[in-house]
Amino acid sequence: MDQDNRSLISLEGLGREDILSLLEKAAGFEAQPNRKILDGKVVATLFFEPSTRTRLSFETAVNRLGGRVIGFSDAATTSSSKGETLKDTIMMVSNYADLIIMRHFLEGAAKYASEVSPVPIINAGDGANQHPSQTMLDLYSMLKTQGRLDDLNIYLVGDLKYGRTVHSMLTAMRFFNPTFHFISPEELKMPSEYKEFCRINGIRFQEHSEFNEDVIADADILYMTRVQRERFTDLMEYERVKDMYILKNDMLRSTRPNLRILHPLPRVNEIAQDVDSNPKAYYFQQAKNGLYVREALICNALNLI
Amino acid sequence: MGKTEKKELLVAALENGTVIDHIPSDKVFDVVSLLGLTHLDNPITIGANLRSRKMESKGIIKIADRYFTEEECGKLSVIAPNIVMSIIRDYEVVEKKAITLPDEVHGIVRCGNPKCITNHEPMQTVFHVVDKNAVTLRCRYCGKDVLQKDIKLL
């Protein structure tokens, strides 16, 4: 149904070929990011929850494609603060715009919006639920740096319990025969339902609580996430583990030459500053790739490429 | 045996209508409200905390001159999967059916996720039934699972 009205709510409905085709389109936009494909189109960016990075990336994508942007970056300045329902806001905005890109603090908000909206919706994050454009740019970054998505050794580090991006990655990578390594403190381990998902889909994985040079020696991709203090019920435990999942430059000495380090950003201290100048650090380019991927997702939603 | 006969007599005492049996005692009034029985004028008998061979304590509801659609029956399975519904015509049990869960449950159950959109918008909840035996429902919107022990009705 999402595909019928061309909304993008999650990646769950996409198959291997759908994903590869979108990534190929993104590569086309990287080669030629400025095109007048959206000439005469109006795109609304409705950010009920602030997210500067995601909003700027989407708005840049629209601008580089020659479209116009309307919207808001904080729901406090809109009628939803007066008690307007999401449905009413969506119905009103769909009178003006050809496409709605929305971020909402409630889970399922984008799905519901796609059911009531006459124009396509792109989900730019709904609470802890889905953030498909982030996952697509992660996949694009892996494809670009490794030359393939198949048969990669992917190491996920940090908060694997609440990390939305790592969960979405498992789902999207199920077509590409990956081997995952889950590195996390006990309190933030990969939830059993996702491990079950791996078993059902024949995805190999290993769990580690240690994070050091030896553990990551065979990694193609090191995907870092932040261990957040507020996630811990036991603060003693937090104090004990908080510095154990920090990537330092000297840990990269004997890693594979093709290894690339990804991070969804913002980073706090989980990647030491001295890693930034290592050629294996890729997180800033990764964020830049978000632009090309979002250009592809926008054009796909509007059926323009 | 004598006991069983007596029980069947109790059920058959209805001339025409529906007997809903094997309701867990604490769910009897959920069944009443789900089927909208308070809005009916038909004679209704409600029993709770009755002894049963199959379960510790059960409830039973008899409704005269009223039959229920598949959809109405399906709703009941959400709160109690082992309910048995008997159709009575002319004092005879003409059909006895175990209730089965439909593939989707619309507008009956509340999503347990406080951050789910369905708990904040005036909209209908929708759940996909992912496990009919254990009664596990998955919210169409936020994707979270609701287990039978956590099911709360709207």
Domain range for A237? 133-287
Q: What is the number of CB-based contacts under 8 A between chain A and chain B?
A: 48
Tell whether A227 and A159 lie within a shared domain: yes
Residues of A whose CB is below 8 A from B115: 105-107, 127-128
Domains along chain B with CATH numbers: 3-98 (3.30.70.140), 104-153 (2.30.30.20)
* Cβ–Cβ under 8 Å, residues B107 and B78: no
Residue A298 lies in a domain: no
Q: Rounded to the nearest 10 degrees, what angle do helices A86-94 and A109-116 cross at?
A: 50
Q: Please tell me which of the candidates B115, B123, B140 has its beta carbon nearest to residue A127.
A: B115
Tell whether A100 and A182 lie within a shared domain: no
Residue A196 lies in a domain: yes
Q: Is A107 on the interface with B (CB under 8 A)?
A: yes
pLDDT at B33 over 50: yes
Tell whether A120 and A205 lie within a shared domain: no
* Cβ–Cβ under 8 Å, residues A131 and A168: yes
Tell whether A114 and A199 lie within a shared domain: no
Q: What is the pLDDT of residues A192-205, one digit of tens each?
A: 989 999 999 999 99
Q: Which of A161-170, B4-13, B37-46 has the lowest mean pLDDT?
A: B4-13
What is the number of other CB atoms lying within 10 angstroms of the CB of residue B128? 14
Distance of residue B103 Cα from the nearest chain A Cα, in angstroms? 17
Cα angle, residue A168 at apex, residues A167 and A172 outer, rounded to 5° = 125
Full DSSP string of B34-61: HTTGGG--S-EEEEEEEE-SSSSEEEEE
pLDDT at A233 over 90: no
The reported pLDDT for the residue numbered B2 is 47
As for how many domains chain A has, the answer is 2
ipTM entry: 0.87
Amino acid at A120: P
- Which residue does chain B place closest to A85, by CA atoms? B121
Tell whether A166 and A72 lie within a shared domain: no
| Spatial CB neighbours of A114, under 8 Å, sequence gap ≥ 6 | A2, A5, A7, A9, A120, A121
Percentage of residues of chain B with pLDDT beyond 70: 92
Q: What is the CATH number of the domain that holds A94?
A: 3.40.50.1370
Residue A23 lies in a domain: no
The reported pLDDT for the residue numbered A302 is 96
Tell whether A43 and A151 lie within a shared domain: no
Interface residue of A49, A89, A106, A194 to substitute, partner B, most B CBs within 10 Å? A106
Tell whether A76 and A216 lie within a shared domain: no
- B117 and A85: CB-CB below 8 Å? no
Instruction: Specify the residue for token string 């709510």.
Output: A9
The reported pLDDT for the residue numbered B5 is 53
Residue A5 lies in a domain: no
Q: What is the mean pLDDT of chain A?
A: 94
**Catalytic annotation present for A54:** yes
Q: Is the pTM of this model over 0.80?
A: yes
Query: Is the alpha carbon torsion for B108, B110, B116, B121 positive or negative?
Result: positive
Q: Please tell me which of the candidates B115, B121, B123 has its beta carbon nearest to residue A107.
A: B115
Residue A181 lies in a domain: yes
**Catalytic annotation present for A82:** yes
Q: Is B123 on the interface with A (CB under 8 A)?
A: yes
Tell whether A174 and A270 lie within a shared domain: yes
What's the residue count for chain A?
305
Tell whether A74 and A218 lie within a shared domain: no
* pLDDT tier for residue A69 given thresholds of 50, 70 and 90: very high
